[in-house]
A and B are shown apart, each in its own frame.
Chain A
Amino acid sequence: QKEVEQDPGPLSVPEGAIVSLNCTYSNSAFQYFMWYRQYSRKGPELLMYTYSSGNKEDGRFTAQVDKSSKYISLFIRDSQPSDSATYLCAPRAGGSYIPTFGRGTSLIVHP
């Protein structure tokens, strides 16, 4: 079992939809949880960062972590075609500087 599991998709939604992207993980030591966004033919860029369990909101994006079930979510409200990208979750353990990347979920938002 990989440490971080992500459904590769693609996930195709109409513009304006609420999108839910998810990861599961197996390492109980993970304390920091990042979401990176990667556009086609570009390097990943940090989108959201959360520590431990709970929610964090930034504009149309909400990151949610449930450490008890080892489940990470990224919600996108009012999705736009410009949100079409691959989203990678990347948790890491406390005391480590090295995140473990999921395989990424490809999101397509069509007009």
Chain B
Amino acid sequence: EAQVTQNPRYLITVTGKKLTVTCSQNMNHEYMSWYRQDPGLGLRQIYYSMNVEVTDKGDVPEGYKVSRKEKRNFPLILESPSPNQTSLYFCASSLLASGVSDTQYFGPGTRLTVL
């Protein structure tokens, strides 16, 4: 089954404790992206990657890191989480082909709470 998986689905942590949210897709997609979704603000892009070893900042990259060492994986790293990073996080992937690239497949989401 074609899918994007994220782990963990729920996480409660404390300020300053480094964490990683994993994202994996099995569709051989070049493009992968991380979003955060907050009430009243909608989906905001954190980072994206056009292919292996190619990453770039989205609209709200501060406090986050990513890496793309393999095509299927795109982990999101919070080196020193703060309460304002409490949010619902989505990973997404898509093929980079005309007319097809707009079909972004989203993961199930990770609800992060930073105390």
Contact = CB atoms under 8 A, between A and B. Distances in A.
* Interface size grouping (class) on chain B: 20 to 34
Contacts of A34: 102
A97 B96 contact: yes
B48 interface: yes
Contacts of B78: none
Interface centre among A36, A90, A97, A98 (most CB of B within 10 A): A97
Given A92-B102, A97-B50, A98-B48, A42 B108 contact: yes
Interface string B80-100: 000000000010101010010
Nearest to A92: B102
B109 A103 contact: no
Given A43-B92, A97-B96, A97-B101, A103 B50 contact: no
Interface centre among A43, A45, A51, A99 (most CB of B within 10 A): A43
A72 interface: no
Interface in B18-68: 31, 33, 35, 40-45, 48, 50, 58
Nearest to B95: A97
Given A97-B31, A97-B50, A97-B96, A44 B43 contact: yes
Interface residues of A, number: 23
Nearest to A44: B106
Interface of A: 6, 8, 32, 34, 36, 41-46, 49, 51, 88, 90, 92, 97-99, 101-104
Given A46-B103, A97-B50, 12 more contacts: A36-B104, A43-B107, A43-B109, A44-B106, A46-B104, A49-B102, A97-B31, A98-B48, A99-B102, A101-B35, A101-B44, A104-B43
